[in-house]
Amino acid sequence: MKEEIRIDKYLADMSVGTRSQVKQMIRKGIVTVNGETVKKPEQKVRIQHDRVAVSGRDIAFENEVYLMLYKPAGVVSATKDPREKTVLDLIQDKKRKDLFPAGRLDKDTEGLLLLTNDGKLAHEMLSPKKHVDKVYFALIQGKVTTQDQEAFRQGVDIGEDKLTLPADLNILKSDDVSEIEITIREGKFHQIKRMFEAVNKKVIYLRRISFGPLELDPALHPGEYRKLTEEEIRLIKGETNE
């Protein structure tokens, strides 16, 4: 991130308004830098040092944004889509233009999705080499058995070059519709659905409950989101430094 940027970009990046709205604010004389009224949109500000305010309200610069979203079913994990509603359509306030989902959940999958503009961190958390744990709760059509547990521990054939990595299957209820928790360490397309297909069963509901050290906040409802805490940011950064 550059040390100095134009004041209109600074304010637009902080979602104070669009670039042209911000220029209008500057024209109106309501934007100040270190208490001095800004005259031109091209004026440079030092993002670490200068104090920027609009109508007397301080606008701090945030380089990186990390949001925990409880993805609801029915939205796609993309930044844009010509037909479907995307996870970014759910973000209302202070939406950064460079925000994107770190990884993908299927349209019908719910649960924890990290939205960020930190490309480096997202890349690291998703890297197949890092084996970041992902835990899902699922409802499965049919009785899930200890044989399935063993098969997942060994790795199953989902039509890739290699078997899946060992996954931990915790059977919460084995019945006509079973309840399970599963921990996987990779993130292949439709991975859990394909793993259950490999043992002749069908996933009928899927919710991600953790992603590395992040746990889905029980206070969130589907469609809601919040910023990560400092502690959570520290944990995810630690995870990728190992």
Residues recognised as catalytic? 106
Contact 58, 51 (CB under 8 A): yes
Stretch that binds ligand URA, among 41-49, 102-110, 143-151, 161-169 (CB under 6 A): 102-110
Give the residue, chosen from 39, 120, 190, 234, that forms a contact with ligand URA under the rule CB under 6 A.
Answer: 190
- Which two structure tokens, joined as six digits, stand for 172? 């919460």
Write the burial class of residue 106 (CB in 10 Å: 0-12 exposed, 13-18 middle, 19+ buried): middle
Angle (deg, nearest 10), helices 230-239 and 119-126: 50
By CB under 6 A, tell whether 182 contacts ligand URA.
no
By CB under 6 A, tell whether 46 contacts ligand URA.
no
Q: How far is the CB of 198 from ligand URA (least distance, A)?
A: 12
Give the residue, chosen from 193, 211, 214, 225, that forms a contact with ligand URA under the rule CB under 6 A.
Answer: 193
Q: Which of residues 106-125 bind ligand URA (CB under 6 A)?
A: 106, 109
Q: How open is the CA angle 54-56-60, to the nearest 5 degrees?
A: 60
Q: How far is the CB of 189 from ligand URA (least distance, A)?
A: 8
Give the residue, chosen from 87, 105, 132, 167, that forms a contact with ligand URA under the rule CB under 6 A.
Answer: 105
Dist. CA 26–CA 53, nearest whole Å = 11
Give the residue, chosen from 191, 198, 216, 236, that forms a contact with ligand URA under the rule CB under 6 A.
Answer: 191
Q: How far is the CB of 156 from ligand URA (least distance, A)?
A: 13
Q: How far is the CB of 45 from ligand URA (least distance, A)?
A: 42
Closest CA to 221 of 207, 235, 232, 233: 207
Q: Which residue intervals of 88-229 are DSSP H helices?
A: 119-126, 146-154, 191-198
Q: For 126, list phi and psi in degrees, rounded to 5.
A: -100, -10
By CB under 6 A, tell whether 140 contacts ligand URA.
no
Interacting residues with ligand URA (CB under 6 A):
105-106, 109, 190-193, 206
